[in-house]
Each structure stands twice: as structure tokens, then as C-alpha cells.
Structure 1
Amino acid sequence: MIHYILQIIAFQLLFLVTYDLFLKKETFFNWNRAYLLMTPILSFFLPLVQLDFIRQNIPTAYTIQLPEVLITSSPMQVHLLPEVIIGSESNLSNYISLIPIFGYLWYLGVAASLFLFLYKIFKILNLRRSGTKVNTKNITLISLPDTTTAFSFFNTIYIGTNLSEIKKTNVLLHEKIHVKEYHSIDLVFFEILRILFWFNPLIYIYQNRIATLQEYIADAKAIAETSKKEYYQNLLSQVFQTEKISFINTFFNHSLIKNRLIMLQKSKSKKIFQLKYLLLIPVVCMMLVYTSCTEDSPQDVPEIAKQNSILEKITALKNEIELQGGLSSEEEKQLKGLAAKLTNDVSKSKYQYVPGSKDVPFVHLDKTPVYPGCSEASLTESKKCFSQNISRFVGSEFNIKLAEDLNLKGVQRIYVRFKIDTNGQLTDIKSRGPLPELEEEAIRVIKKLPKMTPGEKDGKPVNVLYSLPIVFEIKK
């Protein structure tokens, strides 16, 4: 979840930077409004999108699938288990006491933000009750006594009686545009996001950008119906009282007056500059590349594990035939054919060995990597010893206290890939799991594995890739 939230914030930041650098100063106000409303929503969905053709998977033909490891807090008999599973004992009291503190903070922040929102609504209702109501077509006008306040909220315009008639005319013209354009909906939308994501400063920036843009839209349409000179003088006139409410359209916002005057005098942007919005395409593509390459699809992992399990059996069959008296060329051809059919890629032949290559498909290995202390005399015994030692090592080193620290329950699966290079060192260690903490723990454990005797092909050391599924089973 934390990783997902960080991705949302990162994507929103990229969208905002794109807006500020390339779009903010253009007069395509409606386009900019659509951009500011659409991109925060995109930021919530893009981290969930993964495209298979983008994801760069390591070819399964070059990967040896190790048995899953079982890790429990009780005595283990690894040689009886076909997989590495991590088990953890827990009780109800520990489970209850391990509710993440972040959850409490989030609820507290939501409650505080909701209270502020309701307080702002209460202030508007008070102003409504204190004023004189005049109903016109589709708009309600509230005259506020003894004030120069001027703002709109949905289909209601609030205007102080102390304003001069000329100023009232310009203000009403401006605020009516806010009402007709449904600008309050935009601001309330971001107000809801502020309640739910109170910890995200970019939501506040988004709301500020949309509020500024709405003033530009209202100014541009209002000035077409009145005297520019009077409208400018109105903006440059004395300081007026303003309601400090984030989701109302206030006319006399002094921090915006300079920018509004600049935009009023700015020439209309050339249509060719609308091509700037095409920048959204590469920005979204970059995000899709990131999301597709940083996390394996949940549906893909079991399929990979299934393929690798069958490939492992093909390799075992090859080794058994060799032990029984050698592998004929016809038998080797049939085994390669089975492997190629498994990957549905006979033409490309992922299992084809390129002479001289240091990365060798395990089907072609003359000698598999050997765990320290294991015998190299028999391929079958060497592989069995290798798997058993990997299982024991991971089972003893994995931190089962993570179950309590992360408040885990049920079964958590972690998939680790690593390479044993020509020097016997473990490199290119990668992991995929339900939580970053479990991924990091799996990588930490694999890094601690001892140096191996490298695999060989034609008498030369080669790189061999392994895939190790780890199942973390939390028991109550």
C-alpha cells in the first residue's frame, strides 16, 4: 500500500511539473481545466496498470526453478518438503495489538480534515442566514450587510452591500460565470481528495492551480461583456474583505489579482500550441513502463512457476538418462523439443545454446552449480544436496518476526531470481512479493548464501539462473 501511495504522489508530481512548465501560461483554459481534473484521477489508476509487452521478463528457459522453501518456527524436516515455506506462530492478542500506527494516523487526519470541511460549510450557512436572499433564474443572490465580501458557491452568489454599484455589476458578471461553469464542483472534488489524502501536499497544489485557472476563465468571459477599463480598475481598487474558504470562488483574491491582470492582457495562444497537450502521451507511457517493469502480474507468477516446474522435470529426466548410460542425440533432440513446446516458441528456440555464451540454458549444462560441501560425483545427488541446503539456509535465516511487525496473515508468496555467475558468486538478485519488506528480506537472505562452485559447459564455467519461490505461511 505504501508503495502504491508513493507511486501516486510521484505521478501527480510529474503531471504538475508538466503543467507548470508547458501549459500554465497558455490561454487554452478549458483544456487546462480538463488536464487538472483528469491527471489526479489517472495517478490513482496508472500504478494498477501493467502491460505484458512492456514487462522485461528473464526468459524462463534460462532459469532453474528451485523447490519452494518452508520456514516455520517449529523444527523443520526440509528433505521431506518440495517447497520452501515460511511459517509463523501468532495469537489473537498479538494480532490485535499489531494494528499499524499509520492506520490510526490516517483516520485521525481524515477526521480532522472532515471537521475543517464541515466547519467551512457551517460558515457559509451562517453567511446565508445573515443575508437577504433574492432568487433569480437559476441563481440565488445573497446580499451580505455591512461587508465587501464577494464570492460564489454552487448556484449561490454572496455579495456585500458596501460595494459600489459598478463593482457589484462586474462582480456579479464574474461570479455568474463561475456558477454557469460549475466551478464549485471542481473545488469540492479536490476538497474531498484533501480529506482522504490529507498527507499529500500535491492535492493542495492541484486545488490552488484549478482555483487560479477558474479565475482566468471567468475573467476572459466577463471582460467580453463589459468595459475593459472598468474591469481593470475594479481589480486594482482598494483591498476588500475576503472569506478564507478553499472551495469557494472569491472575486477579491489579492494574491491572484496580478496574475489575472497579466492573463487578461495576454494574447490568445496560437492553436499550434495545443500540440503541447500531446506531452501527456510520453508522460503516461513513461509511467506505464515503470509500473509494468517494477511488479510482476499476479497471474504471471504462478504460470512462470508452473513452466519452471515442468522444465525442472525435463532436466531431471535428462540427467537420469545420462546416469543410465548416456544421452543419445535423438533423446537430446526430443528433450529440447519438449522444452521448446512448453514455451510455445519453437521457431525462436529459446533453448538453443549459442556456443561461447556465458549464459547457458540449464538443459545444456554439463555440470550444475554445486553448494559448498555437496558431492560433485552424481548430478542427481548434487542437485538434491543443492536444493536441501538452499532450503535449510533460507529457513534458518529468514526473519519470521516480520509476520508480527507487518501484521501479516494467511499465505504470502515471494519469488526470488538470482544468478550463479562464472565465479560462483550470487548476482542479479531480484524478488517479487506482496510487500516491499518481504522482498527486501528475501534479497537479504539470498545475498548471505555462500559462494558456489559454478556450473560448466564444455569444460568452462558459465552463468546459471535460478528461481526460488518462498511461501510465508502465518499460523494463528
Structure 2
Amino acid sequence: MYLIKANVVLVVLFVFYQIISAGDTFFKWRRLSLLTVYMLSLLLPTIDLSVLVNETVPLGNILPRMAYNLPEVMVQPTHDNFDWQQLAVWLYTGVALALLLRVFWQVGVVCRLAQRSERATLHGTAVCLLTGDYSPFSFFRWIFVNPVNKTPSQVQQILTHEQTHVAQWHSADALLSQLFVAVFWFNPVAWLMRLQVRNNLEYLADRSVINGGTDKKAYQYHLLAVAYRTNVATITNNFNVLPLKKRIKMMNKQTSNPLARFKYLLFVPLAVALLAMNNTTIRANVQKKVVKTTKTTKKADASNKVYEVCEQMPTFPGGDAALMKYLSENVKYPALAIKAQEQGRVVVSFTVEKDGAISDVKVARSVTPSLDAEAVRVVKAMPKWTPGKQGGQLVRVRYNVPVSFKLN
């Protein structure tokens, strides 16, 4: 459930980011916004306000009424069906671990390269000298460059560019985006976010070079000259990161109106709205229970009364034996509960309405969330019953059905 909520938040915030950032040159605000999207995607799903809501609800208002107890149903694990849910979990975990190992391997490659590289000072900057046709890059405090066949002006451009990455800790952003892709690899937005992060970091570094007095056209030609050189690792900040067309377009773009940057503050109300939506369902369910119980208590009209016992009790189609058969055939032992060695007796309470429909299904006695959910699922799916009668009139009747989950 956490992964689902986190991915929903990620998609919503990224779409919003794309809308408000389109066409502007507020690269620092873009960077802050992208980091905010990552942070909120991880944190918002963990904030549960239901505790505050539940503290205001009298316990007696949300407990189920006493009801007629049906015979107990015993459920045990079966091993003849393929566990697709478990396969999905293993697939997700396997891919995530592979991507994480790839990130750590690349970090190791860069660290080994830093240890083995010859050190030098170029234009007052300590660098690690590259050999071969590799693109200049930086990773945290290390700057890697091959000065061979480069003019002093080109070397200075490279150093200014990479010093910006180093000074502003751009490698932390790049590493975070890679880790996020590893965990949320199944979400295309995570990959798009990584691309946005990398491009924006290059926009920031390019602007530092141009603002430092470098001729814009000369710098752009320099970028084109190294466009197809090999990159050591994708976690590094590379001088020639593509697409160059967008970088050149941004360099030539007119600076946006400073007042327009305040549009990024709209992330605050959006985050509040997402937090509210995350807790709306829980709050609504609690309030619904309170209102319904209050109405039941205050209502003097016998037509809405819920009976525990009546003159003619409701019957499941085919009788009690058919009911027990239905429950035993449809309740399945959850795979996650088997893995966690969860077992116990869940009691589900429900009402047979005047038309025989099943309503107000709730857990009267809980064991674990997965076992509770399975018992509730099957009870909600029951076909219509023959309704009960009191004094010749159709009435509503409450039942409890115990479902025992027992491991072999």
C-alpha cells in the first residue's frame, strides 16, 4: 500500500512540476522543486491523521452491535495454486536489488578511478587526470579531466562547469535520482524525474560558465566537440551530458521574470491537498460509522431497526450448509499471511437488509490486516439472502460469522 501511495504522489507532483516549470529559467527553483517531489513522495504516504480523528470518536459508537453467530468456518492453506502475488514481489525485489547493485558498482568504479588516477593542478584546481577518450566529469569533490588536445580556454570552461557541480553538491542529486529509480523502477515517472534532475544540473553549470564571462558561441561549439565521448558512469555529472540541443536552447533563452518564481510556492497547497486526500478515506469511514450509529440510536421508527433475532431469520440461498460451502470454497489463505505465519479467528459482522442484500460489513474481531481483509472480501461478495421477517414485515438482521485461519 505504501508503494502505491508513494507512486501516486510522485506522479501528481511531477506532472505539476512539469506544468509550472515549462519554459522558465529558474534552475535553482527547479532543483529545489525536484528535491521536494522526492521528499514528499517518500513522506506523505507515511503520515496518518486517523489517530487524531479516532480520538474524537466515542469507542461505543464504532463497535459493532451484538449479532447472531453463524457456525465457524475453518480455512487452511492450499498449495495447488500458483502464487502470482509472491512472484510479483520477487520480481519487484529482484529488479530493485539489481539496480541498486548497479548504482553501488558505479560508485565503486569512480572511487577506484580516483585512487588510481594521477593528480594535477590545472588553473589552480586539483583534478584527477583521465587517460583515453573520456568525457570530463565530476563526482562530489573529485574532478576528472583529460587536458590533452584542449586549449587553455577550453580547460577553463570545463573546470568552471565541473566546479559548479562540486560546489553545489550536484552529485547528491544525481545519486538520489538513481536510487529513486532503483526503488520505483516500475514507474516511468521515476525515470523521467532522473532525466529532469540531470538536465537541470547541467543548466545550472552551463549558466555559471556563461556568467563567468565565457563566450557563449565558443562554449557551445566546445560542447558539440565532446558530445560523443564515452562517459565513465551514469551517476557522475558529465560535461557532455545529452541532450545538447536543450542545453544550447536554455543558454540562448531570455531570463524569466523574477516575480514568476513565486509560482513554485504552489507546491505547498498541493502537498496539503495530497495529505488530506491520503487521510480522507479513513476519516470518512469513521464519520460514517458515527453518523450511522447515532441515527440508529435516535431513530424511533421500527422499520429501520436492526434485529439480532427475529421470528423468521434470513436464510442463505440453499440454507446453512450452502453458506458453509460457499465460505469454505471462497475464503483463501493469503500468501503473505502464510509467509508471516499468521493465524487466528476473525469474526466478521454484517447486516442482511430487507431486500436480502449484504451491508455494513465490518471486522468485529481482528487478527491481522491480511486475514481480516480476506474474510471481509468474501462476506461482501455473498449473494442476496432471503430476508428476515418480524410480525409479517421484512426486517434487517445482524449476523456474525467466525472464520478461523489455521496453518497446517
TM-score under structure 1 normalisation?
A: 0.65
Match of 2:239 among 244, 251, 260: 251
1:446/1:189 Cα in 2 relative to 1: closer, same or farther (>3 Å)?
closer
Q: Is the Cα–Cα contact under 8 Å of residues 64 and 466 in structure 1 kept in the other structure?
A: no
**Distance across 1 between alignment mates of 2:253 and 2:109:** 36
Equivalent residue number for residue 170 of structure 1: 157
Counterpart position of 1:402: 333
CA distance in 1, matches of 2:53, 2:253: 43
> Which amino acid letter does the alignment assign opposite residue 38 of structure 1?
T
Partner residue, 1:292 = 279
1:455-475 deviation per Cα after TM superposition (whole angstroms, max 9, x unaligned): 99xx9989x697968665445
Distance 1:412 1:37 in 2: 46
How far apart are the structure 2 equivalents of 1:431 and 1:212?
51
Distance 1:222 1:468 in 2: 73
User: Could you state the TM-score of these two structures normalised by the residue count of structure 2?
Assistant: 0.75
In 2: Cα distance, 1:381 partner to 1:405 partner: 37
CA RMSD of aligned residues (A): 4.8
**Looking at CA atoms only, which structure, 1 or 2, has the larger radius of gyration?**
1
The residue number in structure 2 matching 1:364 is: 300
Greater Cα offset, 59-68 or 219-228: 59-68
Q: Aligned partner of 1:119: which letter? A: W
Q: Are residues 406 and 64 of structure 1, via their aligned partners in 2, closer, same or farther at CA, if it must alter by over 3 Å?
A: closer
C-alpha change, 1:414 and 1:282, in structure 2 (3 Å) is farther
The answer as to 2:31 corresponding to 1:100 is no
Change (3 A) 1:402 1:30: same
Alpha-carbon distance in 1 for matches of 2:321, 2:382: 13
CA contact (8 A) 1:368 1:383 kept: no
- Quickly say closer, same or farther: Cα 1:123–1:38, change in 2 above 3 A: same
Structure 1 spans left out of the alignment, 5+ residues:
70-76, 79-84, 309-342, 353-359, 371-378
Task: Supply the distance in 1 between the matched residues of 2:90 and 2:101 (Cα, whole angstroms).
Answer: 16
Question: Does the 8 Å contact 1:15/1:39 carry over to 2?
Answer: yes
Q: CA deviation at 1:22?
A: 1.5
Q: How has the CA–CA distance of structure 1 residues 466 and 67 changed in structure 2, closer, same or farther, with 3 Å as cutoff?
A: closer
Deviation at 1:177? 0.5
| Structure 2: stretches of 5+ with no match in the other structure | none
Question: Residue 106 and residue 98 in structure 1: after superposition, are their counterparts in 2 closer, same or farther (change >3 A)?
Answer: closer
Matches within 5 A, 1:220-369: 220-229=207-216, 230-237=218-225, 239-243=227-231, 245-253=233-241, 255-295=242-282, 351=294, 363-367=299-303
Instruction: Check conservation: 1:140, 1:157, Cα contact below 8 A.
Output: yes
Task: Trace 1:76-225 onto structure 2 (pairs within 5 A).
Answer: 78=71, 87-89=74-76, 100-125=86-111, 127-128=113-114, 131-134=117-120, 140-147=126-133, 149-160=135-146, 161-225=148-212
How many residues align? The count is 393
CA distance in 1: counterparts of 2:29 and 2:266, whole angstroms = 13
Q: Do residues 382 (structure 1) and 382 (structure 2) align?
A: no
How far has the Cα of 1:216 moved from its partner? 1.0
* 1:232 to 1:64, Cα distance in 2 relative to 1, 3 A: same
Asked if 2 retains the 8 angstrom alpha-carbon contact of 1:87 and 1:475, the reply is no
Classify 1:148/1:163 alpha carbon distance in 2 versus 1 (closer, same or farther; 3 Å). farther
Instruction: For residues 267-323 of structure 1, give each alpha carbon's deviation from its aligned partner in whole angstroms, at most 9, with x where no partner exists.
Output: 2222332332233244324423432234479xx98x99xxx9xxxxxxxxxxxxxxx
Deviation, 1:157, is: 0.8
**1:16 Cα deviation (Å)?**
1.2
AA at the equivalent of 2:190:
I
- Which residue of structure 2 aligns with residue 450 of structure 1? 384
* 2:144 aligned counterpart, secondary structure: strand
Kept in 1, the 8 Å contact 2:6–2:42? The answer is yes
> Cα distance 1:142–1:238, how it changes in 2: closer, same or farther (>3 A)?
closer
Give the fraction of aligned pairs with identical amino acids, expressed as a percent.
Answer: 19
Residue of structure 1 equivalent to 2:65: 65
Aligned to 1:355: none
Matches of 1:221 and 1:29, distance apart in 2: 11
CA apart distance, 1:66: 5.1
Distance in 2 separating the partners of 1:125 and 1:411: 52
Give the superposition deviation at 1:182: 0.5
Q: Secondary structure at the match of 2:120?
A: strand
Q: Matches of 1:233 and 1:252 in 2, distance apart?
A: 12
Q: Which moved more, 1:408-417 or 1:259-268?
A: 408-417
* SS of residue matched to 1:65: coil
Shift of 1:209: 1.2
1:192-212 Cα offsets, whole Å, 9 max, x none, are: 333444444433222221111
Q: Secondary structure at the match of 1:142?
A: strand
Shift of 1:239: 3.7
Check the 8 A contact 1:423/1:454 in 2, yes or no: no
Tell whether the 8 Å contact from 1:131 to 1:143 is kept in structure 2 after alignment: yes
Cα contact 1:11–1:287 (8 A) shared by 2? yes
Look up the SS of the partner of 1:364 in the other structure.
Answer: coil
- One-letter identity of the residue aligned with 2:260: F
Q: 1:431 to 1:17 in 2, by over 3 A?
A: farther
Work out the CA distance in 2 between the residues paired with 1:115 and 1:64: 50
Equivalence for 1:326? none
Q: Secondary structure at the match of 1:152?
A: strand
One-letter amino acid of the structure 2 residue matched with residue 445 of structure 1? V
Distance 1:234 1:38 in 2: 34
